[in-house]
């Protein structure tokens, strides 16, 4: 392939890559810092490059776009560096003004050039426009360099990749100075121009989207295979005479077929590390995950371990369906270890809860035993007092007895025996003497321990009746659950206890023991269901019970 064809290929590749990356940046990573101005810049670079191939009039017009592209580049660097954009009006004014000057005054001319049919020489107003372009480029790179020094983490790495790509871009356009300086050599630096566009786009999206790294691996594989095929067929073998040049094509295809898989693995290692994990790393990961104290900590530790192994920031570790095999294996391994650690965490929680309840049960039994005699003595001591103080003491003793009873009930081991239970019948039993209305499907039954279901509903109905004058009980079957709601129109639940309402010794009423709702929560958990605070129009407080069907 001669020099003119190589130059044309590089320019067409730059234009195609610029258009493709611009589309990708706008449609897939439009919210990434600087993505939209970078898309515009890549389009302008592609159009500018096409100006070197098009006929004189169209070519000179496109080459005059360089200052405008410089202004867009500064816009991109400001966004990427998270700087203010207050001076953008002046910057775009300078870029557009220089472009207009070149269009009116003339950008330059195409002249014969060594190694290619023709090349472009800036002159007159075109040189002034080129000066504005270089000034804007210098401003953009100064902003990038300053931000690179100041930032850390993902932004630091992004700016570093963009700076490296920009250095390649500046080196590639040095060839435009050759005609101005009278250096008659082939403009080989322009062959690097496609790498400039690719590097800029990849620098932004690498740290924003996992799929970008997958496509980068594919692009690198194609580039290496193509290069290897070209080199292999360009070897001057004497037996490949001109009449047998078809053998070169066959050789190129064979080389590409044989080299594809090894080069794809190599590209994957360059973009990502392999999916191999040593025994020492595996033990370290297990230990770190097992040390997590809750779900949030477990997810954080897993993300940090994966980020460290892959060398990528934590906020791009997603969309594993498009990741190469190595990283995908690492993600699957982390998920497996997380599941093991989650089971360990649940066992620790269950054991800790059993220990806590055993200690609480022992304490409750001791308190109940030690309080009975003093309570009996107090009751006998006030037997001959006036009715009012005797009634007050009796009420307080009854409250103490209820607290001890609830404490024993909460702390004892729980077993439930679910069976088909008629909800309306249970409500009639436990709601005797309480005023409430029901909205129940005819003949509704659910799988529940009848005794424990009555305990739950009796507790909620008593609380609701004490809080208000109106009480409503509704029920329905939804999917795999039977849902029961007990609602009242009382003063509602104070915000300061809403989050801890089902913990022991938290009560929404002044006379409660603070164990009733905690017992409800334990009964529901024993059934494999749940109790939550819900909302219903026209009612201030609703408790929602979900029983598996």
Say yes or no: 529 and 459 in one domain.
yes
Q: Indicate if 180 and 50 belong to the same structural domain.
A: yes
Q: What is the pLDDT of residue 230?
A: 57
Do 201 and 220 fall within a single domain? no
- Residue 79 pLDDT: 83
pLDDT digits (tens, 9 = 90+) for 198-217: 777 666 555 444 444 555 55
284/168 same-domain check? no
- How far apart are alpha carbons 176 and 173 in whole angstroms? 6
What whole-number distance in Å separates Cα of residue 456 and Cα of residue 191?
Answer: 78
Based on the fold, state whether residues 440 and 338 are members of the same structural domain. no
Say whether both 85 and 46 belong to one domain: yes
Question: Judging by beta carbons within 10 Å of its beta carbon (0-12, 13-18, 19+), is residue 261 exposed, middle or buried?
Answer: exposed
C-alpha closest to that of 464 among 500, 438, 425 = 438
Same domain for 25 and 63?
A: yes
- How many structural domains comprise the chain? 5
Same domain, 194 and 218: no
The reported pLDDT for the residue numbered 198 is: 73
Q: Where are the beta strands (DSSP E) in 423-537?
A: 437-439, 445-448, 471-478, 481-488, 530-536
- Compute and round to an integer the Cα radius of gyration of the chain: 38
How far is residue 36's CA from residue 139's CA, in Å, rounded to a whole number?
Answer: 19
The pLDDT value given to residue 233:
54
Q: Cα(205)–Cα(360) distance, rounded to whole angstroms?
A: 56
Residue pLDDT, tens place only, 218-272: 655 666 666 666 555 554 444 444 445 556 566 666 766 777 777 766 665 555 5
pLDDT on residue 243: 46
Q: What is the CATH number of the domain that holds 143?
A: 1.20.1070
pLDDT at 544 (0 to 100): 93
Q: Give residue 285's domain range.
A: 279-354
Contact 215, 323 (CB under 8 A): no
Per-residue pLDDT, 238:
44
Q: What's residue 270's pLDDT?
A: 54
Residues in the chain with pLDDT values less than 70:
1-3, 28-33, 85, 153-155, 201-253, 255-256, 264-278, 311-329, 353, 356-361, 363-364, 368-369, 406-414, 505-514
Residues 433 and 515 placed together within one structural domain of the fold:
yes
471-478 sheet: strands from edge to edge: 437-439, 471-478, 481-488, 539-548, 530-536
What is d(CA 197, CA 260) in angstroms, rounded to the nearest whole number?
25
Q: Are 110 and 56 in contact (CB under 8 A)?
A: yes
List, as one string, the DSSP characters of 363-388. HHHHHHHHHHHHHHHHHHHTTTS-HH
* One domain for residues 193 and 237: no
């Amino acid at each position: 392939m001669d020099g003119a064809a190589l130059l044309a290929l590089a320019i067409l590749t730059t234009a195609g890559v610029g258009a493709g990356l611009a589309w990708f940046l706008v449609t897939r990573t439009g919210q990434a810092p600087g993505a939209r101005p970078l898309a515009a810049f890549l389009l302008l670079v592609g159009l500018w490059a096409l100006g070197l191939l098009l006929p004189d009039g169209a070519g000179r017009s496109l080459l005059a776009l360089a200052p405008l592209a410089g202004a867009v580049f500064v816009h991109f660097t400001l966004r990427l560096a998270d700087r203010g954009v207050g001076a953008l009006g002046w910057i775009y004014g300078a870029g557009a003004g220089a472009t207009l000057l070149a269009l009116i005054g003339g950008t330059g001319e195409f002249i014969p050039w060594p190694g290619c049919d023709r090349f472009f020489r800036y002159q007159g107003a075109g040189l002034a426009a080129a000066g504005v372009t270089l000034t804007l480029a210098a401003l953009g790179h100064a902003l990038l360099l300053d931000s690179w020094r100041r930032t850390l983490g993902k932004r630091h790495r992004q700016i570093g990749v963009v700076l490296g790509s920009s250095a390649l871009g500046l080196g590639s356009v040095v060839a435009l100075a050759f005609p101005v300086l009278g250096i008659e050599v082939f403009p080989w630096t322009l062959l690097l121009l496609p790498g400039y566009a690719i590097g800029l786009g990849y620098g932004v999206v690498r740290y924003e989207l996992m799929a970008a790294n997958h496509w980068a691996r594919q692009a690198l594989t194609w580039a290496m295979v193509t290069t290897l095929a070209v080199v292999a067929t360009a070897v001057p073998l004497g037996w490949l005479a001109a009449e047998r040049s078809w053998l070169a094509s066959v050789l190129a295809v064979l080389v590409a077929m044989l080299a594809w898989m090894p080069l794809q693995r190599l590209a994957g290692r360059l973009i990502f590390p392999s999916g191999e994990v040593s025994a020492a790393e595996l033990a370290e990961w297990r230990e770190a995950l097992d040390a997590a104290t809750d779900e949030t900590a477990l997810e954080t530790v897993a993300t940090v371990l994966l980020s460290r192994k892959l060398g990528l920031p934590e906020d791009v570790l997603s969309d594993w369906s498009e990741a190469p095999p190595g990283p995908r294996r690492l993600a699957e391994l982390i998920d497996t270890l997380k599941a093991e650690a989650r089971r360990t965490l649940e066992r620790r929680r269950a054991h800790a809860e059993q220990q806590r309840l055993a200690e609480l049960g022992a304490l409750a039994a001791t308190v109940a035993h030690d309080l009975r005699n003093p309570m009996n003595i107090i009751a006998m001591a006030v037997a001959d007092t006036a009715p009012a103080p005797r009634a007050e003491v009796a009420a307080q003793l009854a409250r103490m007895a209820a607290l001890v009873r609830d404490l024993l009930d909460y702390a004892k081991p729980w077993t439930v025996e679910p069976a088909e239970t008629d909800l309306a019948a249970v409500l009639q039993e436990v709601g005797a003497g309480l005023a409430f209305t029901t909205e129940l499907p005819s003949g509704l039954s659910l799988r529940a321990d009848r005794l424990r279901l009555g305990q739950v509903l009796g507790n909620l109905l008593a609380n609701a009746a004490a809080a208000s004058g109106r009480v409503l009980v509704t029920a329905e079957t939804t999917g795999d659950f039977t849902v029961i709601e007990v609602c009242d129109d009382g003063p509602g639940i104070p915000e300061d206890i809403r989050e801890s309402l089902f913990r022991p010794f938290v009560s929404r009423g002044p006379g409660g023991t603070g164990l009733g709702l905690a017992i409800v929560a334990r009964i529901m958990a024993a059934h494999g269901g749940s109790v939550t605070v819900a909302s219903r129009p026209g009612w201030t407080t609703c408790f929602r019970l979900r029983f598996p069907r």
